[in-house]
Structure 1
Amino acid sequence: MAIVFITGSTDGLGRAAAQSLLDQGHRVVLHARSADRAAALGELASRSEGVVVGDLQSGAETKGIADQVNAIGRVDAVIHNAGVYTQRSRGSTPEGHAVTLAINTIAPYMLTALIERPARLVYLSSGLHRGGDGSLDDLDWTKRSWDSAKAYAESKLHVVALASALARRWPRVLSNAVDPGWARTKMGGAGAPVDIETGQKTQTWLAVSDDPAALVSGRYWHHLRQQEPANEATDPSFQDELVDKLAKLTGVKLPA
């Protein structure tokens, strides 16, 4: 049985993934943004290997999350589930970054760099990543007028590119990105077409399955099927530029 760390696991797809893995007999490390959110986990917390707490808006707290996971021990897989959708403004994190960029792009990058290397990495993206094309010149939205939909699309392009970059740089790690679809969560709304069980299935399968179809890397998935992502996501030069920029923004270098 595997031990899996899931970011943003107090509700939505993250919580559903945790419940699914626990029901299959796997071990799960949960993540909550705050102590209050951790308290809302209820019996799920008692079934878990532990609950790590920290706000992914903050670089310092993100480092703390990595430290807490490492203190529990090496995990077999990480599901980078946490994310935010459209933010009315750019906002500003403690480090001065755009909130969407911090949570959706910077935090997965930092956790990947700082958590002891697992066997599998899964990054939640979106079909909307195809609208994130464009230059990395203003990654942090310091020059452009704020566009929440574009910022979200860009952040989801970043994580597909990051998954592909890791597949290329770390050949012993299975690294994949998933579009869970528009699911009926707090973020997706009650009218979303995808039920939460379907929405969580692909990422949990990639995290733990010994099915030969799941033992691949550098792919983009939607409902257990591979799809072609945006061209930029599979471009090594785009991937390398993104990783370099994130290293400079955070002061955290991705290990070789």
Structure 2
Amino acid sequence: MAKIFITGSSDGLGKLAAEKLIATGHQVVLHARNSERADLLKSQFTSSYPILIADLSNLEETKKLALEANDLGRFDAVTHNAGVLHADSKTIFQVNVLAPFVLTALMEKPDRLIYLSSSMHFGGKEFSDIGQVEKTTYSDSKLMITALTAAFARLFPEIKCNSVDPGWVPTKMGGKNAPDDLQKGVETQIWLATSEEKEAKVSGKYFRHQQVKSPHPAVEDTAYQTWLIRWCEELSGVSLI
């Protein structure tokens, strides 16, 4: 039985992953953006753990979330599932990139870290100036978090760090007409968080439907990774190491 923290678990893939993990006996700590969403989760889940509340577009709330998570003790796995698509550039960057960076830096390191990527990362741009945060698109953000995942795997070899493309699935973000299978979309993050299969106990990989795929070439560029880390450290005031 694993102890797992999932960000963005009040709906969509995060909630579905939590439901499946709890049903199979795992201990899951949930996260909601605000108290209203947390109250709804309380009515739907029975858990001995509190539901952690933080708006990940707010840097100070994100830092506080890391401390509250640490108060619950070390996790076996953390899934950085939260994300936004239809938002301004600053919010997209804050939620999709800076929040998982800050949580990774400040939380006690688990055995496994999973980050939600997207096939849209292939359309992302490699920024070279910190001022370009105001121009961040969803695709840009997913290229960044996929590259950061590879960097974390390199810098923390004792942790299994992987990114997951769940496909274009029918969630609130993906839309009801999304063509991919919702159930299949959640399987990989659960598998990476809990499986003892050797195929799941790897690091620095980009997965789609439990298969390793080749990411955008920039993902494995250590110079780009280093630049992203320095950028995130400067914007957050949080050191990764």
TM range (shorter): over 0.9
Residue in 1 that maps onto 2:36? 36
Instruction: Provide the identity percentage.
Output: 44
In the alignment, structure 1 residue 159 sits paired with structure 2 residue 151: no
In the alignment, structure 1 residue 200 sits paired with structure 2 residue 192: no
**CA separation of 1:24 and 1:136: change in aligned 2, threshold 3 A:** farther
Residue in 1 that maps onto 2:95? 103
Listed one character per residue, the Cα deviations across residues 102-150 of structure 1 (whole Å, up to 9, x for unaligned) are 00000000000011010000000100001113323146434xxx5xxx6
2 CA distance for matches of 1:49 and 1:175? 25
Listed one character per residue, the Cα deviations across residues 47-104 of structure 1 (whole Å, up to 9, x for unaligned) are 35321001001110001111111111111111000000132x44xxxxxxx1110000
> Which letter maps to 1:121?
L
> What is the number of residues matched between the two proteins?
241
TM-score normalized by the length of structure 1: 0.91
Unaligned runs of 5+ in 1: 91-97
> Which letter maps to 1:84?
V
CA RMSD, Structure 1 to Structure 2 (Å) = 1.3
**CA separation of 1:252 and 1:23: change in aligned 2, threshold 3 A:** same
Instruction: Give 1:45 deviation, angstroms.
Output: 3.5
Listed one character per residue, the Cα deviations across residues 192-215 of structure 1 (whole Å, up to 9, x for unaligned) are 112321111101100111011100
Secondary structure, in 3 states, of the residue corresponding to 1:220?
A: strand
Runs of 4+ that moved beyond 4 A: none
Residue in 2 that maps onto 1:73? 73
Unaligned runs of 5+ in 2: none
TM-score normalized by the length of structure 2: 0.96
Secondary structure, in 3 states, of the residue corresponding to 2:207?
A: strand
Secondary structure, in 3 states, of the residue corresponding to 2:151?
A: helix
> Which letter maps to 2:121?
H
Judge conservation of contact 2:164–2:208 (CA < 8 Å) in 1.
yes
In the alignment, structure 1 residue 121 sits paired with structure 2 residue 113: yes
